Amino acid sequence: MTDATPPNSPIDQIAEQFLESFVQLSPTQATFMGIQGHDHELPDFSPAGFEALIELNRRTIAEASAVPVSAPREEVAKDALLERLGLELERYEAGVPQHQLNAIASIPAELRQVFDLMPTATQDDWETMAIRLNLIGTTLDGYRETLAGQAAAGQVSAARQINSLAERIASWTGSDGDDFFSGLAAKAPDSPVKPSVEAAAASARKAYGQFGEWLTSELLPQAPSRDACGREVYALASRDFLGATIDLEETYAWGWEELARIEGDMQTIAADLNAGDRNIEAVAALLDNDPARKIHGKEAFRDWMQQLADAAVTELAGTHFDIPDAIRRIDCEIAPTSDGSIYYTPPSEDLTTRPGQMWWSVPAGVEDFATWREVTTVYHEGVPGHHLQVAQTMLRTDLLNRWHRVGCWVSGTGEGWALYAERLMEELGYLEEPGARLGMLDAQGFRAARVIVDIGMHLELEVPKDNPFGWRPGETWNADLGFEFLRAHSRMETEFLKAELNRYLGWPGQAPSYKVGERIWLQAREEAKQRKGSAFDLKTFHSDALNLGSIGLDPLRRALAKL
């Protein structure tokens, strides 16, 4: 990477000042971004705290809108900032962050997960941990005030989401599963700091328990039973997650076509693996029971993921991607919870305090892992997926301002890139083993099914009468049909699919951002090929695209068209 002077144009200064102000108001986000100095704080999620965020966005949008830009790089910086902050302001004004609850990505989950990323190497680190744990009660009290105010105005999440979150909180507090807080305190060193960490963890556990009880006793009776959010809310959510405006009906129809295409490819591989039998479920069961494709034990599985992730970095660096030494480390971890999610967290801003990490929250009781399913997951979360995209962006101090490097994340661009990276690894020859290729297609098919289910349920659309599977023609989508469809088009455990369904219903627009994002990445690549003709170079395209950082997909395509 170059040591050129960091960008310092007026738009860059506005973006960086916004980031400084934002992390003061949102210290948990500072921890997620890897920005040091805020680990002893928690945000104010009371109505006043949200008003401060709204005012910051309005002020920054006005300043950024008025500032002139004089170079293409500055145009991208301004486009990216205004697109993100404009959508966030729309969401605040619609009351979405203030009232939206679900078990995965709402404020209670943010507050719990932040403790996974805090340093624990020294006694000072644990003292900081205790300080933040002791703030949980006050923070949840402020958030409760916001939720109550939103409810009085008629803004309440669906009953299904409140129940799901309450159940998740019960699992964190130990009343119905693991006790996350006791487990955290047990890791504190046997030193004078341990009693204060234990007391703080007990305080946080109690605060979460009381909040969970309030959800079910006070908020739940006010909650609607209808799961669908409706077109207006969904359109805003879709734009937010994608950074692009799409035709929802066209995308819904495309989802059906894409799922049929993928399952056709899967049937061809199934026939090759299972003596001509095209049944996908049969060959999946065969692979699941193959000792050569099975690993027993969480630690052994983590080691397998680590070896595959490291090998991908070594083999792709210098050939298909330029991967600087500073970001060649990624750590694979078993998460301290058991909700079944898989996710990536970025390295600290200095790239040394905390590495990029791939987390697997293994469901309780699971000890056997089928590797054929997860080769593609490692590429998605690691290299060339999330880790390459995120960590490389953090290094581009010569091209991107600080907000753009560490404070901007667009799901459609990020998750779309990671899904594109899975397909790319097939193109590059890394999925020639039929089981691994079937696993990639299985993951792709699941993401295509989510496009159909998510849009169908929230817009309460009709199942196409001529759909390629002859399934429920003419019926109107609801949660029951959503689960039935997922069950028919995935090879996953029932409890996992139930959790997935709740995720879609409580987080509208997020699940389709993977497959729709990949679609737009592929379109952008094809557009670049058409523009450049014989001069098109895939490695250069990837480098140019990643150097733009995580920006909305519409701004991404506009920027790529000028390169």
Which amino acid would we find at residue 38? H
- 3-state SS, residue 306: helix
Residue 440 sits at φ, ψ, to 5 deg, of -65, -45
State CA 527 to chain mean position distance: 27
pLDDT in tens, the chain (563 residues): 444 577 999 999 999 999 999 999 999 999 999 999 999 999 999 999 999 999 999 999 999 999 999 999 999 999 999 999 999 999 999 999 999 999 889 999 999 999 999 999 999 999 999 999 999 999 999 999 999 999 999 999 999 999 999 999 999 998 766 799 999 999 999 999 999 999 999 999 999 999 999 999 999 999 999 999 999 999 999 999 999 999 999 999 999 999 999 999 999 999 999 999 999 999 999 999 999 999 999 999 999 999 999 999 999 999 999 999 999 999 999 998 887 788 999 999 888 889 999 999 888 888 999 999 999 999 999 999 999 999 999 999 999 999 999 999 999 999 999 999 999 999 999 999 999 999 999 999 999 999 999 999 999 999 999 999 999 999 999 999 999 999 999 998 888 899 899 999 999 999 999 999 999 999 999 999 999 999 999 999 999 999 999 999 999 999 998 88
Beta-ladder partners of 334:
360
Beta-carbon neighbour count of residue 270 at 10 Å? Answer: 23
Tokens found for residue 219: 């908020």
Cα-based distances in Å from 89 to 34, 92, 224, 236, 506: 24, 5, 25, 11, 20
Neighbouring residues of 211: CB distance < 8 A, sequence distance ≥ 6: 108, 140, 143, 144, 169
Beta-carbon neighbour count of residue 285 at 10 Å? Answer: 13
- 3-state SS, residue 179: strand
Q: Any idea of the CA torsion for 545, 549, 552, 555, to the nearest 10 degrees?
A: -60
Which amino acid would we find at residue 514? Y
CA distance 254 to 258: 6
- The reported pLDDT for the residue numbered 1 is 42
- H or E stretch at 33: helix 27-33
Contact (Cβ atoms closer than 8 angstroms) between residue 22 and residue 408: no
Q: Is 447 exposed, middle or buried (0-12, 13-18, 19+ CB in 10 A)?
A: buried
Tokens found for residue 465: 């009468």
Q: Is the dihedral of CA 453, 454, 459, 464 positive or negative?
A: negative
CA distance 529 to 309: 30
Side-chain half-sphere exposure of 295, counting CA atoms within 13 A? 16
Residue 346, preceding peptide bond in cis (omega within 30° of 0):
no
Contact (Cβ atoms closer than 8 angstroms) between residue 12 and residue 71: no
DSSP per residue, 457-479: HHHTPBPPTT-TT--STTPBP-H
Tokens found for residue 5: 């002077």
- The reported pLDDT for the residue numbered 400 is 96
- Domains of the chain, by residue range, sit at 10-227, 240-458+471-513
State CA 262 to chain mean position distance: 23
